[in-house]
Copies of this chain bind each other. A is one copy, B any other.
Amino acid sequence: MYRTHTCGELRLAQAGQEITLAGWIQTVRKFGSITFADLRDRYGITQLLFGEELNGQLDQQPLGREFVIQVTGLVAERTNKNPNLATGDIEIKVKTFTILNKSVTPPFTIQDDTDGGDDLRMKYRYLDLRRNAVKKNLELRYSVNRAARNYLHEQQFMDVETPFLIKSTPEGARDFVVPSRMNPGQFYALPQSPQTFKQLLMVSGYDRYYQVVKCFRDEDLRADRQPEFTQIDCEMSFVEQEDILNMFEGMIKHIFKAVKGIDYTDKVQRMSWEEAMWQYGNDKPDIRFGMSLLNIKSAFSEEYSLLAKKDLIAGTDFKVFNDAETVVAIAVPGCAEYTRKQTDELTDWVKRPQIGMQGLVFIKCNADGTYKSSVDKFFTEDKLKAIADAAGAKAGDLVLILAGLEERTRKAISELRLEMGERLGLRKKDEFRLLWVLDFPLFEYSEDDNRWVARHHPFTAPKPDQIQVMINNNPLIENAAEYLKHPYANIKANAYDMVLNGNEIGGGSIRIFQRDLQEKMFAALGMSKEEALHKFGFLLGAFEYGAPPHGGIAFGFDRLCAILGGSESIRDFIAFPKNNSGRDVMLDAPATIDNKQLDELQIKLNPKA
C-alpha cells in the first residue's frame, strides 16, 4: 500500500502519529519559507505542510496541480482550523515526499465551477470525473443501485442475467445490430429491454426477477437521450396491478430513505391517464404545484369534452376561441402585474416552433378586483371574472389561455404550466412528489400506417373486463378519420407509469400470459401469423406450457438518479456518456474498422449516394 490512511480520514485523535498519504495536489501555496498544499483523494482533502528543510527538494522537484504524490509525516493540530473540512483540525508535517506521477496543466480547472465547456469536458472525461460535482453524482448513482438491490433482495427478487446478443424484432425503436461472423449474413440485435426474457423467466417459475441492466435503442438522440441506458428491470408472478404498485412504491420510498434520508410516508397519489391529460395536459404531470387546467372547450374525448366549461365563452364574438377545437387556461399565481413586455415575451414563448401556438390570451386579476385582458373588446369584465374564477385565479393572479387544435394546445398549455412553475420557483429540486398514472389506452392509432400500435408494448394486457372487447372486434380501421369510434380506442391497458416531479421514472404493465390473446394482440398490430411466429414464436410457444399470470415494471435508472441528484441531465450521472450524435468523443468512437474485419463478417460498406 502506498498509504496508511486516506485523505479524508485523519482527525485530532491521530495527532502525533506518523502516517503516509497518497493523492493529488489540489493547490500549493508558499508562505515565506513554508509551503502548504492540499492533497486530494476520493475520500477527502488533507492539508500538507512542507517545512524549510524540504525547500531544496521542492526547488528541484516542484509540485504542480494534479501531481500524484506520496507523503510521510506527522499528524499535527492546525492553528487556523478549517471547519468546512472534515480533516480541518489537522495538517501533516511532511517528513518525506515522493512524486509518483507528474501532470501537465489540465485543459480546465478541476473545481465545482469549472471553466471547461461541454465539449472539452467530454473529451477529457477522465478529468471531468475528478470534479467533486461529478463524483457526487456517480456516488449517488451507486447508492441508488445499492438501495434498489437491497430492497429487491429483501423482497425475494432474484438477479438473473439475460443475454445481450439476441434477435432483432423491429417494433417501436430501432435495434442496434451485430453481424455474426460464425453465421455469415445473420445478425444479433442488442436488447431494447429484457422484456421477453423476464417473461420467460416467469414462465420458468422464477417468480420475482430483477436486473440492473444496460439497454440499447438506435434512435435519433434528443438532448437527454443516450443510445445505451440502464434500467432497473423487474417482473413478478401471480400478481395483479395493485400488488405491483405497492411493491414498487415501497422500492422508491426505500431509495428515498437510503439515498436522501427522506421519509416519504404519504401514500403515492394515483391518477388515471385521462385525468392527467385533462387536468395537466400531460401524462406525466409535475404535481409539486397546482395550476391545473381549466378546460373551457376540448376535443379530448367524447366523455371528457362534456365536462368542458363552454358556457364561459358562449355568445362572444372572439373568433379565435369560437373556431378553436380546444381552449384551455391556467391561473398563474401573483403575476397580475406583468408588464406589457413580460406578456409579449410570454406570447413569443408560446409562438416558438416547439410550442407552435398562434398567440396567447391573458387576463390580469388586479389587486383592486378589476380584470384586464388582451381580449377586452370581446369579453365583458363579468365574463373575464367568470373565466378567472373557474380557473381558480385570485386577486393578483394572471390567467393564461391557449386555443387551437386539441393535441397541440393541450401539449402547449402543459409546457406553459411547467414553464410558469419553473419561473415562479415552484419546481423545487429538493421536493419530491411521486405519482402513479394508471389506465393508459392499450392502443394508439398510427396515421402513418393506418393501424393500431401498442402504447406500452405488445405484451401488455388489457383490463380484464375489456379482453372480450379485444377478442370480439376486428382491429381493421375502415375510416381512418373516425378511428376514435373504433372499440379498440377505448380499451384501457393494465399499465402504469411512476412519475416523479414531472418525469416518467418507471413504467410497466400486467402482461398477456395466454397464447390466444397474445396472438390476437400481434394480429391487432398488423402482424401476420408468420411474422408473429418468426419474431416471437419462442414466447408464444412458452405460453403453451403453463405460463402464470405476471407483470412487471422497468425504471429508467439514469433519469431516476438525475432527478434525485436535482439535475435535468442524465449525462451528468453516466460515467462515460455519448454526445448527441451518439459519439464518445473521448474514445473517438464509433470509428472505421479494418477491411479484414469487414471481410471476416462478410459485409461491406454501402454508402448512400
Q: Which A residues lie at the B interface, using CB under 8 A? A: 1-3, 22-24, 40-43, 66-68, 100-104, 106, 124-127, 129-130, 135, 138-139, 142, 145-146, 149, 153, 158-168, 170, 174-190, 197, 200-201, 203-208, 214, 216, 218, 220-221, 227-228, 230, 238-240, 243, 513-514, 537-538, 541-549, 574-576, 578, 581-584, 586-594, 597-608
Contacts and interface: CB of A to CB of B under 8 A. Distances in A.
Contacts of A181: 174, 218
A568 to B, nearest CB: 20
A187 B590 contact: yes
A369 B124 CA distance: 74
Contact of A227 (B106, B165, B174): B165
A252 B439 CA distance: 48
Contact of A104 (B129, B238, B545, B602): B545
A134 to B, nearest CB: 9
B602 A603 contact: no
Nearest to A243: B1
B584 A167 contact: yes
Nearest to A167: B589
Contact of A161 (B67, B230, B537, B587): B230
A602 B605 contact: yes
A183 B547 contact: no
Contact of A581 (B40, B182, B591): B182
Contact of A127 (B187, B545, B598): B545
Nearest to A69: B546
Nearest to A206: B42
Interface of A is mostly: loop
A494 B146 CA distance: 33
Contacts of A174: 181, 597, 600
Contacts of A100: 548-549
A110 B539 CA distance: 19
Nearest to A2: B238
A337 to B, nearest CB: 48
A603 B600 contact: no
B591 A167 contact: yes
Contact of A582 (B2, B183, B205, B575): B183
B163 A597 contact: no
Contacts of A177: 178-179, 593, 597, 601
Contacts of A513: 101
Contacts of A575: 160-163, 197, 201
A101 B547 contact: yes
Sorted nearest first, the 10 A-B pairs with minimum C-beta distance are: A167-B589, A129-B204, A103-B546, A186-B590, A2-B238, A42-B207, A66-B546, A180-B590, A604-B606, A126-B200
Given A165-B227, A165-B578, A594-B170, A185 B607 contact: yes
B130 A158 contact: no
A461 to B, nearest CB: 13
A547 to B, nearest CB: 5
Contacts of A124: 541, 545
Count chain B CB atoms within 10 A of each CB in A187, A514, A604 and give the residue with the most.
A187
Count chain B CB atoms within 10 A of each CB in A124, A125, A239, A606 and give the residue with the most.
A606
Contacts of A230: 161
Contacts of A218: 181-182
B591 A186 contact: yes
26 contacts: A2-B549, A41-B205, A66-B546, A68-B547, A100-B548, A100-B549, A101-B549, A104-B544, A130-B205, A135-B206, A142-B160, A145-B159, A149-B149, A161-B574, A163-B575, A163-B576, A166-B587, A167-B589, A167-B590, A174-B600, A182-B581, A184-B605, A185-B605, A187-B591, A538-B587, A603-B604
A170 B590 CA distance: 14
A275 to B, nearest CB: 26
Contact of A22 (B129, B221, B538, B548): B548
Nearest to A544: B104
A555 to B, nearest CB: 15
A581 to B, nearest CB: 6
A127 B541 CA distance: 11
